[in-house]
Structure 1
Amino acid sequence: MSRIIIYTQNDCPPCAFIKNYLSDQQVDFEERNIQNAAFRQQMIEHDAFATPFLLIDDEPMYQIDLDQINQKLGLSTHKND
């Protein structure tokens, strides 16, 4: 099973979207809100300056690309598959 960390911030619609998407797909993830200075620093150390920022098995994903996420996690793109 993949380890997923999502760096988020408050009032971030794309953050809410990806969290809801992964929850709907029954994928476990760890959320790290960058209001916490340590989490913000971790994100910056990955050269990431916008949320949501994902780490999937320690591999950074700077933009939300559902096709790439589905492929990495072995998710079906169709609800009935």
Structure 2
Amino acid sequence: MHFQQRQWNLIRLRKERNLTQYDMKNLLNISKDAYGMKERGNAQFTMDEMFILSKYFDLPLEQIFLPRNFGVTEIKEVAK
């Protein structure tokens, strides 16, 4: 089973601002379980959700979200 990359930048931002997953799920109007899965990389954030979070944190998307295959390309390059 393949799991996506955890959203470490988002986790860091949330914790720096003393926000809980409950706070975040309310912001996005989704369940806490759904938010947790997305933060852990087991589900993908929608573009709408990413834009909401970008606006909320006042940061560009690329400073919050890691690419879906982050690490995979780097690992393949090392293996060559």
What TM-score, normalized by structure 2, do the two folds share? Answer: 0.29
Larger strand share, 1 or 2: 1
Q: Which structure carries more relative contact order (alpha carbon 8 Å, separation 6+)?
A: 2
Larger helix share, 1 or 2: 2
Higher-Rg structure is 2
What TM-score, normalized by structure 1, do the two folds share? Answer: 0.28
